[in-house]
A and B are shown apart, each in its own frame.
Chain A
Amino acid sequence: MRRSSVHWERFLWVALTISLVLLVLPQANFIVLSFHADTGLGQVSDELTLENYVRLFIDPFYLHAFWLTVYLSALSAGSALLLGFPAAYALARIGGWIAPAILGLVLTTSLITIVVKLMGLNIILGPLGMLNNQAGVLIGLVQYTLPLIVVLLFGVVQTIPVALEEAAAILGATRRATFWRVLLPNARPGLVSSGLIAFNMCMGAFTSAVLLGGGRVRTVPVLIQQMIIQDTNYARGAALSTALVAFVFLLNLIVVAMISRSSRHAH
């Protein structure tokens, strides 16, 4: 008997082809470049080499850049979670028309291009001495990720019925005990995955680091840009970028594995 179902997967081909041409092919080319020695002016030699990667691992300059990127990303993701959770909790519990209205505003601000937002921050942070240093970049990264964090955590809190908190209260739990024993454990998977998304965004954040760091806060994305545009060292830049992607990907895999293991453990 012939089934008359629609083959929806056919519609994937258009998007897949566009992605292949615009993303995968240039990246593949980039990865190939990273395994050749740089001969100056954007040219590479023919023979294969691991030299570019070895340099990343032994040169303190690059190691520090990686450390700085992870440090700033983790700190800003953590700050965004701390700032975003109470707001998301309040929005999820208020209900009515106020919560969707405020969420709409939050989403709208996140659609304003980051350049415009950073220019505004520039004006405020300059006189405070928080421009062209790590503090400035950190503030920029938090501003960049906070709206998304609030929206994501709003969804997380909504999945935790308010009856759970009432049940804890009527069993004698204080607000503090309810937070630590009921709210936080049930929000944890959502907190981890939202934090990871913010962390990933920060790891690749170039605009905030450049505009608020003034070129002095050299995170990996900033170095990649300098390497390719200023030094025209395509091979080194490619290695740096490949290493960044691989590092972030690996970190995500580890966290996801840890989450699924702890949730399996709970069952």
Chain B
Amino acid sequence: MAKVSVEGVSKSYGDVRVVDNVSLTIPQGEFVVLLGPSGCGKTTTLRMIAGFVDPDEGRIQIGDEDVTHMAPRLRNVGMVFQHYALFPNMTVAENIGFGLRQHRVPRAETAARVTELLALIQMPTRGNSPISALSGGQQQRVALARALANSPRVLLMDEPLGALDLKLRETMQEELTRIQRELGVTTILVTHDQHEAMSLADRIVVMAHGRIQQVGTPDDLYMRPHTRFVAEFVGRNNFLSGRLEAAHGGEALVVLNCGASVRVPTRPGLVPGMSVELAVRPQHVMLGAADGITARLEERRFLGNVVHYAVRLPSGDMLLMERPTQAGLPEPGCDVVVSWQEDHAHLFDMQGDALHEA
């Protein structure tokens, strides 16, 4: 178990800069999730830490050791692959013991360690099963046990739950958290699923276009997105265009395209006149305040515990509104007044950078 530091790492394929100057320090024992859409460079970053991809620039350290150009087999890191990559020609126990065998661990010790790991993944009796006899969830567990067998300094996981169905994925998320806490192993997991990222991570690293957009705890990202990209990718958000009419201290007055003026908390020193985008989450849109925006409810979608409304503003912009399911919800087709609390709105400039206090 060790800390991992990535310093100014870049990788290009042809003209495409897949990973662009990524720096990241992960303290020992932390569970970090690299989150982003496909092609954002998260998997390449993970594969550089594993040693399968050689960085063009930058440095990667595990513990105090520089591993930037070290062969994967010498790094002592564990990895769970996207489709598990279990060896079909071996049993469950042989798969788990493979790494120990490569390190010339004595037979008896290997057997004891395999038994211990089978217990950890709650499959104590399946040691002799062939891989083909396992379900997807079981293969997932075996892949995890195999990756942990050598007591790696770091555990890497590449979309490990992507191939499982929803229910099983939730169970495995709890399982992963339990095992990671139990062993205290530094863990880096790659996913494009924001729910998975939020439920697993101590810290999330949001990536886009090869760059880190923001690093933070799940609630940090959700409540204080640094960029428009993070605001859009983590959770849902409505974006409304407008113009910064006046700025004073920590507050700005924004005139939206629909004509309404709203107040938004910002950092000081903004110059009035700039074009901005205002973000407000669907569950923060409220009905019935006196000084809101008059709008029309167009569509209603019932989703169980919540109801989604498509709301048309006077400018023609659409707003998604989420309300808890309860009696007496308004019908589509009627006119309403929508509003939100000032501090629930975030402002971004046209480059997508947040204008609120960092």
Contacts and interface: CB of A to CB of B under 8 A. Distances in A.
B146 A163 contact: no
Contacts of B87: 164, 167-168, 181-182, 186
B79 interface: yes
A120 interface: no
Given A161-B83, A267-B130, A267-B132, A170 B89 contact: no
A94 interface: no
B52 A172 contact: no
Contacts of A177: 102
B78 interface: yes
Interface in A55-83: none
Contacts of A29: none
B77 interface: yes
Contacts of B77: 170
A164 B103 contact: no
Interface residues of A, number: 19
A255 interface: no
A166 interface: yes
A185 interface: yes
Interface of A is mostly: helix
Interface string B96-109: 00110011000000
B81 interface: yes
B50 to A, nearest CB: 6
A157 to B, nearest CB: 15
A92 B71 CA distance: 22
B82 A163 contact: yes
A169 B72 contact: yes
Contact of B72 (A163, A164, A166, A266): A166
Given A161-B83, A163-B82, A170 B75 contact: yes
Which are the 7 A-B pairs with shortest beta-carbon distances? A171-B99, A163-B85, A172-B102, A185-B89, A167-B85, A169-B72, A170-B72
22 contacts: A161-B83, A163-B83, A164-B87, A166-B52, A166-B85, A167-B79, A167-B85, A168-B98, A168-B102, A169-B72, A169-B73, A170-B51, A170-B78, A170-B79, A171-B73, A171-B98, A174-B102, A177-B102, A266-B89, A266-B130, A267-B130, A267-B132
Interface of B: 50-52, 71-73, 75-79, 81-83, 85-89, 98-99, 102-103, 130, 132-133, 146, 149-150
Given A169-B52, A174-B73, A182-B87, 18 more contacts: A163-B83, A164-B85, A164-B87, A166-B50, A166-B79, A166-B81, A167-B85, A167-B87, A167-B146, A168-B87, A168-B102, A170-B50, A171-B146, A172-B73, A172-B99, A173-B98, A177-B102, A266-B89
